[in-house]
Amino acid sequence: MTEFKNYLRRNIVKAGFGAVAIAGISTFSLVSTAIADKYPNKPIELVIHAKYGGGTDTTARMVSIRTRRNLGTDISIVAKRGGSGAKAQNYVLTKPADGYTIMALTQSHLYTMARGKSNMKINDIVGVARAMDDPTFITVSGKGKFKTLEELVAASKKAPLNWGVAQIGGTEHIGLAQFAKEAGIKFKVVPFGSGAQMVQALMAGKIDATLPNVSEAANQVADGSFKALAVMAENRLKDYPNVPTTFEKGIKAKCSTTRGYAVLASTPQPIIDQISKAMVKAMKHEVFASYLAGAGLTVDSSVAGTKIWDKQLKAEYKVAASALKELGLVK
- What confidence tier does 34 reach under pLDDT thresholds 50, 70, 90? low
Write the pLDDT tens digit of every residue in 153-164.
999 999 999 999
- What confidence tier does 14 reach under pLDDT thresholds 50, 70, 90? very low
Instruction: Flag whether pLDDT at 9 surpasses 70.
Output: no
Mean pLDDT of 74-103: 96
Residue 4 has what pLDDT?
38
Residue 33 has what pLDDT?
59
Distance CA 287, CA 257 (A): 21
Least confident interval from 7-11, 139-143, 211-215: 7-11
Instruction: Flag whether pLDDT at 8 surpasses 70.
Output: no
- What confidence tier does 3 reach under pLDDT thresholds 50, 70, 90? very low
Cβ within 8 Å of residue 275, ≥6 positions away: 71, 99, 102, 128, 129, 261, 263
Mean pLDDT of 218-247: 94
Residue 63 has what pLDDT?
96
Residue 327: other Cβ atoms inside 10 A: 15
Write the pLDDT tens digit of every residue in 170-196.
999 999 999 999 999 999 999 998 888
Residues of the chain with CATH 3.40.190.10: 138-231
Mean pLDDT of 26-53: 77
Write the pLDDT tens digit of every residue in 102-122.
999 998 899 999 999 999 999
Residues of the chain with CATH 3.40.190.150: 43-134+257-326
CATH fold of the domain at 138-231: D-Maltodextrin-Binding Protein; domain 2 (3.40.190)
CATH fold of the domain at 43-134+257-326: D-Maltodextrin-Binding Protein; domain 2 (3.40.190)
Query: pLDDT higher for 284 or 21?
Result: 284
Residue 199 has what pLDDT?
86
Write the pLDDT tens digit of every residue in 198-223.
888 998 889 999 999 998 898 999 99
For residue 46, the number of C-alpha atoms closer than 13 Å in the C-beta half-sphere is 26
* β-bridge pairing 256-264 and 101-106: antiparallel
